[in-house]
Chains A and B, each alone.
Chain A
Amino acid sequence: MVVKSVAVGTLGNLSPQKTLVSVEGLTVRRDTHLAVQDVSFTLESGTDTAIVGPNGAGKSTLIQALLGILPRQAGNVFLLGQPLSPSGRLPIEVRQDIAYLPQNFLLDRRIPISASELVGLGWDRIRPHLPWTGRRTRDRAIQQALSQVEAWHLRDRPVSQLSGGETKRVLLAYCLVRPRRLLILDEAPTGLDARSESDFYRWLYTLKQEQGWTILQISHDLEMVRRSCDRVLCLNRTLLCQGIPDHALTPENLTLAYGSEFVRYRHSC
């Protein structure tokens, strides 16, 4: 399956080395404990970065604080050059350039919504507007996005009747129904079979290569990270290491992140 290329309006003004995300000393408290402590890193445009670390390491918390979904205790976050306010606010124009898929995106199957309606939600501007504003452009964008992930035939299907792989395809269409600059995925391919997972990564690769999207994804699949990511952030509440996967994912760093048992197990495999 091939993601067809589309014209991306925002791409022209991006230089390859532009810093898209900058995080300085980010600390997030959840209930009584510090889930993320003093984390700093930057993401350059057009790169694919993975966050790795054991369960409970604060990976999802980091991403949610980065997007202003969770409040932060300390630190500064800049997304696409704009500061995220302490209360998590960001200009709507910047938000439009970012797509986010949360962990285990399980839809409540009782919600009546069709695949094309779900994709359309990714197109809409969030400011108050009449529901029929820009209907033709919207319909065209939905058709183009669903066709790109070869899911146009699913357009009228209720989301409750989609398989896991089909749902992920529709969600990817939700992300690419508008040109974006940053895609943030929280363990997106979880629950997919090997074929659907490899399709999913191929789409991501195409988005990065052909359209210059910057990708930040949480992953447990260290082999995939080595194979397809440009950079890796190793997290266990604090940032333990960062860099090119082959350099950063050393047995020493993995021991720091996951514990010695895990590394011994992986080496014996």
Chain B
Amino acid sequence: MLTLQAEFTRVLELFQLPFMQRALMGGVLTGLMGGLLGSFVILRQLSFFSDALGHSALLGISLGFLLGFDPTWGLLPFAVLFALCVTYFLEHTHLWTDALLNVIYSSSLAIGVILLSFREGYRGGITNLLFGDILAVQGTDLVFSALLLMVCVTFIGLTLRSQILLTLNEPMAIARGVSASVQRTTFIVLLSLAVGISIKAIGVLLISAFVVIPACAARLLSRRFTHYIWISAGLGAFSAVVGMLVSALFDLPSGPSIVTVQLAFFLGAIFMTRVRAF
């Protein structure tokens, strides 16, 4: 009992440290953003797309190093440009989307690693790029995440019905006057910015989990679209809080802890739907 209390006090003290508070805020913002955009990403079958964006970020960061840009801010325009190029490729070739995305993300990963090898001092940092370091989140990162979240909420909120119609059936949406290409491109740009901004905290390999897993769990728990979006964003944020606590309690890496908590919620959602079916 005493040990448990001591542990609890230790975790409370830990969360009084500014870097832990920043990490918690960063996790919640990324969780909200991932859950919100993710709810549309999985229905539009863009899950692989967010994965490809994550992997391409490595290429963006290594290019930034070589050309002397700040890796975090150099990444954002690269991510947007990359996303628009991939969208163009997908729309203008007759290959399968998952195959084409695989070509793109494995090759951008390969080129990224080669480019990084030119920088002697950075080899050790590759682990940070792959898995991220949420504890290294700075105040400016939080400000940018919060601003981007506000833009995402405003965009989805004001065009919610067009987005739902577009997700359901594109010809029907166009017939109603929805400008499908403008809406699609705006969504892709926001998604690439969200991935780009979260890479530092979550890493190249795990970022797509933030987009995909809470949305999948929310899908299992919802019967209405509006509930689904709320649950997805809520689960994203809640997983981040629980994940950070777990990571502090058991001294585990933060990003992977959050993803594991997301998985636990997803498995819980499967269990609940099974129970409901009986």
- Interface residues, chain A, with chain B CB atoms under 8 Å away: 64, 67-69, 88, 90, 92, 95-96, 98, 100-102, 105, 107-108, 110-114, 117-118, 120-121, 124, 126, 128-131, 156, 158, 184
Contact = CB atoms under 8 A, between A and B. Distances in A.
Contact of A88 (B157, B159, B162, B174): B174
B176 A131 contact: no
B146 interface: no
B175 A98 contact: yes
B225 A113 contact: yes
B178 A113 contact: no
Nearest to A67: B175
Nearest to A113: B225
Interface string B145-171: 000000000000111111011011101
Contacts of A118: 168
Interface of B: 43, 157-162, 164-165, 167-169, 171-172, 174-178, 219, 222-228
A101 B172 contact: yes
Contacts of A98: 175
A100 B228 CA distance: 27
28 contacts: A68-B174, A88-B174, A100-B172, A100-B176, A102-B171, A105-B169, A105-B172, A107-B168, A107-B169, A108-B43, A108-B168, A110-B219, A112-B223, A112-B225, A112-B227, A112-B228, A114-B224, A114-B225, A117-B225, A118-B168, A121-B161, A124-B161, A126-B161, A126-B177, A128-B158, A128-B159, A129-B158, A156-B223
Nearest to B167: A111
Given A121-B165, A121-B168, A129-B158, A112 B224 contact: yes
Most interface-central of A100, A114, A124, A126 (chain B CB within 10 A)? A126
Contacts of B157: 130-131
A98 B177 CA distance: 10
A117 B175 contact: no
Contacts of B222: 112
A121 B160 CA distance: 10
A21 B32 CA distance: 47
A131 B161 contact: yes
Interface SS, A side: loop
Contact of B43 (A100, A110, A158): A110
Contacts of A108: 43, 168
Contacts of B223: 112, 114, 156, 158
A67 B43 contact: no
A239 B52 CA distance: 47
A176 to B, nearest CB: 14
Contact of B171 (A69, A92, A131): A69
Given A112-B223, A114-B224, A130-B157, 14 more contacts: A67-B174, A69-B174, A95-B177, A98-B175, A100-B176, A105-B169, A110-B43, A110-B219, A112-B228, A113-B224, A114-B223, A117-B224, A121-B165, A158-B224
Contact of B176 (A88, A112, A126, A158): A126
A118 B226 CA distance: 12
Nearest to A64: B171
Contact of B177 (A92, A107, A117): A92
A95 B178 CA distance: 10
A47 B172 CA distance: 23
Contact of A100 (B159, B167, B175): B175
A67 B159 CA distance: 21
Contacts of A120: 161
Contacts of B178: 126
